[in-house]
């Protein structure tokens, strides 16, 4: 087993990272290894490299026009890799211990307004008139993302056994295999029941490993969910970012705008710390600034 595979196995078995997260780490490390292979040959090991050599890779990333955020993420993968092997005693010092991350410009994504979300559900409700499996599935997919504020990966992992319709709750498998129970609204129960009925009518199977499935009955996958969300949001919004994460972003912002406690939102989102949740308070403020500046008679002359 090579050094990258060993590190990825650690992330999978010990840290319980998701398949998607482990894939991102592997991609970053393989990219670095391929770069150094060009100079040092196929026998090169990342654990043998010093900071002056690693700095060449950082410079190469910068020359490709990548954003500071992207470069920092790739270097963060290398940092984690070297920390693992330092603790294992394979290396005696961390080659990136004194490296300072590139400065990133702060940007806040404006969430969808309540009016846009209302329009989103009206648009898909129109497609549900014939109550096809695809239309009911898509409606439920959107319902769960906005109702629960869950991550795309968490949506995909929901199984039939995770649902308790009598108790009106669903068990979510979060990051690091942490579980949390989230409430289902009374309005969501009939939609879930309609979906289960349509799913059985379509495939003649009483249960599946995955609760939500594709048109062919296979488990959902990230690109499928992204395309669905992006397609429906394109119909109701001109905002650039139209992803499942923006639905989660919107869920948190709408709760905070209506007076929800930050700690409560933190628990609903499955965050491990308040710092991760507080970003949504910033986006809420940015939206308020935007509304103020466009609506107030002197708003355009007010500095942000």
Give me the pLDDT at residue 181, please. 92
CA distance 98 to 5: 26
Query: Which pLDDT does position 263 carry in this prediction?
Result: 86
271 is catalytic: yes
Cα 215 off chain centre by: 23
Is 245 designated active site?
yes
* Radius of gyration for the alpha carbons in the chain, expressed in angstroms and rounded: 23
Domain boundaries along the sequence of the chain: 3-87, 114-295
Q: Which of 79, 80, 239, 245 is catalytic?
A: 245
Would you tell me which CATH number, out of the four given (1.10.150, 1.10.3470, 1.20.1280, 1.10.760), belongs to the domain 3-87?
Answer: 1.10.150
Q: Which residues, given as ranges, of the chain have pLDDT below 70? A: 104-109, 128-129, 279-304
197 among known catalytic residues: no
- The pLDDT of residue 302: 43
Q: Of the residues 152, 228, 248, 254, which is catalytic? A: 248
Task: Enumerate residues 6+ apart whose C-beta is below 8 A from 27.
Answer: none
Q: In whole angstroms, what is the distance from residue 159 CA to residue 155 CA?
A: 9
> Which residue in 175, 239, 241, 289 is the catalytic one?
175
Q: Quick one: pLDDT at residue 303?
A: 43
Rounded to an integer, what distance in angstroms lies between the CA atom of residue 90 and that of residue 88?
A: 5
pTM: 0.62
Scan for tokens 């048109």, then name that residue.
215
The pLDDT value recorded for residue 166 is 94
The single residue of 82, 146, 232, 280 carrying the catalytic annotation is: 280
CA–CA distances in Å: residue 303 to residues 31, 59, 152, 289: 43, 37, 37, 10
280 is catalytic: yes
Active-site pick, 74, 137, 139, 151: 151
Q: Return the closest-CA partner of residue 29 out of 73, 93, 91, 62.
A: 73
Superfamily of domain 114-295 in CATH is Intergrase catalytic core (1.10.443.10)
**pLDDT score recorded for residue 293:** 58
DSSP symbol at 206: S
- For residue range 155-193, list pLDDT tens digits in order: 999 999 999 999 999 999 988 778 999 999 988 999 999
């Amino acid at each position: 087993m090579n050094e990258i595979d060993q590190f990825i196995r650690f992330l999978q078995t010990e840290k319980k990272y998701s398949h998607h997260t482990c894939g991102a780490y592997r991609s970053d490390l393989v990219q670095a290894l391929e770069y150094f292979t060009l100079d040092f040959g196929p026998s090169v090991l990342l654990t043998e490299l010093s900071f002056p050599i690693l700095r060449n890779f950082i410079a190469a990333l910068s020359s490709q026009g990548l954003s500071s955020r992207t470069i920092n993420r790739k270097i963060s993968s290398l940092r984690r890799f070297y920390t693992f092997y330092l603790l294992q005693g394979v290396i005696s010092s961390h080659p990136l211990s004194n490296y300072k991350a590139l400065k990133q410009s702060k940007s806040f994504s404006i969430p969808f307004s309540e009016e846009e979300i209302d329009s989103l559900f009206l648009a898909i409700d129109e497609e549900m008139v014939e109550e096809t499996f695809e239309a009911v599935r898509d409606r439920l997919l959107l319902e769960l993302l906005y109702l629960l504020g869950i991550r795309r990966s968490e949506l995909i992992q929901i199984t039939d056994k995770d649902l308790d319709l009598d108790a009106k709750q669903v068990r979510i498998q979060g990051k690091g295999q942490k579980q949390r129970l989230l409430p289902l609204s009374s309005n969501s129960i009939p939609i879930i029941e309609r979906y289960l009925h349509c799913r059985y009518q379509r495939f003649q199977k009483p249960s599946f490993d995955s609760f939500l499935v594709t048109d062919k009955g296979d488990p959902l996958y990230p690109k499928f969910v992204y395309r669905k969300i992006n397609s429906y949001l394109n119909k109701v919004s001109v905002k650039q970012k139209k992803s499942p994460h923006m639905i989660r972003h919107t869920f948190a912002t709408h709760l905070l705008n209506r007076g929800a406690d930050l700690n409560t939102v933190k628990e609903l989102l499955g965050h491990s710390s308040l710092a991760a949740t507080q970003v949504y308070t910033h986006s809420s403020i940015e939206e308020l600034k935007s509304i103020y500046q466009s609506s107030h008679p002197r708003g355009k002359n007010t500095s942000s």
